[in-house]
Amino acid sequence: MLHRFKSCGLVVGLLLLTLTTSVPQELELDVGQVITAAQEWAENNLDEGVLRSLPEVDRDKVEKFLRQFQDQLQNDYVLELATLNETAKFVLPLLDAYPETQPYAAWLRSRLDYFEVAEELRKQAPTPKPVPGQRPKPGRNPSSSVERKAWALKLGQSARPPAANALVPKLKSIFARERVPEQLVWVAEVESGFNARARSPAGAGGLFQLMPATAKELGLRRWPFDQRYQVEPSAQGAARYLKRLHTQFGDWRLALAAYNAGEGKVQGLLKRSATRSFDSIATALPAETQMFVPKVEATILRREGVSLAKLRPPKDRP
């Protein structure tokens, strides 16, 4: 998908060069407006038809799964993710088979354990009592402490992704320059499996899965080359975003929740519950966030042997 972005970026760039060099001065062409229009065109059109590389039957199955998964990630009932476990295992090889859809495969691969953990949590959850004449209601979400234990158990023996060996030292150096705890670079394992090409169906992209609006706010360029897919700019953006969120919320769990669900969502839940505690709002967060925060916490504990509560900014080097 990225190679399509680069090719289209070159075409639009040549178009801009033609426009800005061939239009008479008396027309007073606003180059900024042309660049903005071209960028908007690129952002809105480059990903159309990505799934067309798939055979039609497979395409229908993949599209249906991605829609269902996105809906369930935004739903607040985390145990429902377990229902997509087998379908996800079927869809992943289909996405992996074509260069155009491999960025989606990278995104999905880093979330396969969401389904597995949801399945384990569902096994532990009490079954709601049926009420005659009424549709079955979903049970209650497991508490954040239960989810933390499930993720610690799941990742207790997990191996480092091969790509981490080359990327982690570079990412830690960038986070250190931004005065952010270096251990937070493992967010990239959770978000993308350290695959810089990873892309979500919702439009998040790169190692740290930054959304277009967030990337723009952080000063990352989207055109002619999307800096979310470049190691250094994306790491700088993610580090600055995490630092800002921690300053706002004063807690790494809340900062990670806001990184995933959005600042407004977290702030609204805190206000309604009259609390500053992640555990007090965890079960009301989107299912994706309920999985994301404890997975990041368990990943950092596994890779670095340190808890989120003990993370500190790096000391100044002499």
161-170 pLDDT, tens digit per residue, is: 999 999 999 9
Task: Note the pLDDT of residue 166.
Answer: 96
Q: Where residue 127 falls among pLDDT bands split at 50, 70, 90?
A: low
How many whole angstroms separate alpha carbon 295 and alpha carbon 194?
Answer: 15
Q: Which pLDDT band holds residue 279 (cuts at 50, 70, 90)?
A: very high
pLDDT grade, residue 68 (50/70/90)? very high
User: Average pLDDT, stretch 284-311?
Assistant: 97
Q: Average pLDDT of the chain?
A: 85
Residue 135, sorted as left (phi over 0), alpha (psi -120 to 50) or beta, turns out to be beta
CA distance 262 to 66: 21
The CA-based angle 87-93-99, given to 5 degrees, is 130
222-245 pLDDT, tens digit each: 988 999 999 999 999 999 999 999
Between CA 157 and CA 133 the distance in angstroms is 46
The pLDDT value recorded for residue 97 is 93
pLDDT at 236: 98
Closest residue by Cα to residue 51 from 59, 39, 61, 43:
59
pLDDT level of residue 7 (50, 70, 90 thresholds) = very low
| Dihedral angle of Cα 204, 209, 211, 217, to the nearest 10 degrees | -160
Confidence at 138, pLDDT banded by 50, 70, 90: low
